[in-house]
């Protein structure tokens, strides 16, 4: 390697170390800067509840049912360029709801990032791989690397939303059977389904803010939507989990055919508890296979060193 390549490698290494330090500091300080997440999420749910109430009151008074959206720079850009048609994503609103992102603003931000990130990463790839070329690649290889970055920038917003939805569901699924047990107790004690959902949302706030948010949203929809079926369908659609979708379907059938809600919730709670046990058993069964590579790479060399070093020292002393 030439002296210039060595200096460029050192500069790149220093930048990576600085970036890693910044990410580490952010991960340590982020919990202190976030504040009270429960208060923020419950406030967002209250805002959604107020929006539902206003929409319902406007519909009852025979006025326009949907409130006018405020025009902003991002919205104007997306509408002027028709990005929703050019970069249409299937079931985008459902995916955003599953990630906990509600309203029109996340939709417009998604399309904005899908437009901007490929351009930014393509420019960065051309500057880094073609002009600087620290890897000393051929021109075609550098161009392919730049276009690969551009392709990654196009799919990066979808990957981010999917990961955020998976993390959110990982926080909801383990405590959902306990929430169903509480919901069953509230219903059998004589509470209405709206009051039961509201009570469970308050009780589950300490265990899972995400689940408390979902129950609060369902309470608002049960209070202000035209039919309970729509609220149950929205509850299952916002949570891409087999157990929650089964509960949503069971609640819809109970509402439609008049079956006892207590027995339905009891069966659903047992099924979700069994699903939680099966998920834990699945993780435990996959653990030996996951530990194979770390044991080969880290444990076996150390074990060989501990066993063979005394014998080697003795052989060296005898031969010396």
pLDDT of residue 148: 92
Q: Among 26-30, 55-59, 230-234, 304-308, name the one with the lowest average pLDDT.
A: 55-59
CA 261 – CA 190 distance, rounded (Å): 11
318: exposed, middle or buried (C-beta count within 10 Å: 0-12, 13-18, 19+)? exposed
Q: What is the mean pLDDT of the chain?
A: 79
pLDDT number for residue 46: 61
pLDDT surpasses 70 at 307: yes
Residue 70 DSSP symbol: P
Judge whether 193 lies within some domain: yes
Contact indicator for 305, 277 with CB cutoff of 8 Å: no
Residues whose CB is less than 8 angstroms from the CB of residue 117 and which lie 6 or more positions away in sequence, other chains included? 153, 154, 156, 157
Average pLDDT over residues 190-213: 87
Let me know if residue 234 belongs to a domain. Answer: yes
Residue pLDDT, tens place only, 209-219: 888 888 988 88
Residue 233 domain boundaries: 174-278
Does the residue 151 lie in any domain? no
pLDDT digits (tens, 9 = 90+) for 120-129: 999 998 888 8
pLDDT at 17 over 80: no
Cα four-point dihedral sign 152, 155, 161, 167: negative
Q: Is residue 264 assigned to a domain?
A: yes
Encode pLDDT of 70-79 as tens digits: 457 666 766 6
pLDDT at 270 over 50: yes
Domain-embedded: residue 162: no
39 vs 144, more confident: 144
Residue entry with tokens 């309970």: 228
Answer yes or no: is 142 within a domain. no
21 domain residue, yes or no:
no
Mean local confidence (pLDDT), 14-19: 74
pLDDT band at 45 (very low <50, low <70, confident <90, very high): low
Indicate the range of 21-25, 35-39, 250-254, 275-279 predicted with least confidence.
35-39
Distance between CA 185 and CA 201 in Å, rounded? 14
Residue 140 lies in a domain: no
Report d(CA 140, CA 127) in Å as an integer: 14
Number of domains in the chain: 1
Kindly state the percentage of the chain with pLDDT values over 90. Answer: 5
**108 exposure class (CB count in 10 Å sphere: 0-12, 13-18, 19+):** buried
Q: Quick one: pLDDT band at residue 85, thresholds 50, 70, 90?
A: low
DSSP 188-205: HTT--HHHHHHHHHHHTT
């Amino acid at each position: 390697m030439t002296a210039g390549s060595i200096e460029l490698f050192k500069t790149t290494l220093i930048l990576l170390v600085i970036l890693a330090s910044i990410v580490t500091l952010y991960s340590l300080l982020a919990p202190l800067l976030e504040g009270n997440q429960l208060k923020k999420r419950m406030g967002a749910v209250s805002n959604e509840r107020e929006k539902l109430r206003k929409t319902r009151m406007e519909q009852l008074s025979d006025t326009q049912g949907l409130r006018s959206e405020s025009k902003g720079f991002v919205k104007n850009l997306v509408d002027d360029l028709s990005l929703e048609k050019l970069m249409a994503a299937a079931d985008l609103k459902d995916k955003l709801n599953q990630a906990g992102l509600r309203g029109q603003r996340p939709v417009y931000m998604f399309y904005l990032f899908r437009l901007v990130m490929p351009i930014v990463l393509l420019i960065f790839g051309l500057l880094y791989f073609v002009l600087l070329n620290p890897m000393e690649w051929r021109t075609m290889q550098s161009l392919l690397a730049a276009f690969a970055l551009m392709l990654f920038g196009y799919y990066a917003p979808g990957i981010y939303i999917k990961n955020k939805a998976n993390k959110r569901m990982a926080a909801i699924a383990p405590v959902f059977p306990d929430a169903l047990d509480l919901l069953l107790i509230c219903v059998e004690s004589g509470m209405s389904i709206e009051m039961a959902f509201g009570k469970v949302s308050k009780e589950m706030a300490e265990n899972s803010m995400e689940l408390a948010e979902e129950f609060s949203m369902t309470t608002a929809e049960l209070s202000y939507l035209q039919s309970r079926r729509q609220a149950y369908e929205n509850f299952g659609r916002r949570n891409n989990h087999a157990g929650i979708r089964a509960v949503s379907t069971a609640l819809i059938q109970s509402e439609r055919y008049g079956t006892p809600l207590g027995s339905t919730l009891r069966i659903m709670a047992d099924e979700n508890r069994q699903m939680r046990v099966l998920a834990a058993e699945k993780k435990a069964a996959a653990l030996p296979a996951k530990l194979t590579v770390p044991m080969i790479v880290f444990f076996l060399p150390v074990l060989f060193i501990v066993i063979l070093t005394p014998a080697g020292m003795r052989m060296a002393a005898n031969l010396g």
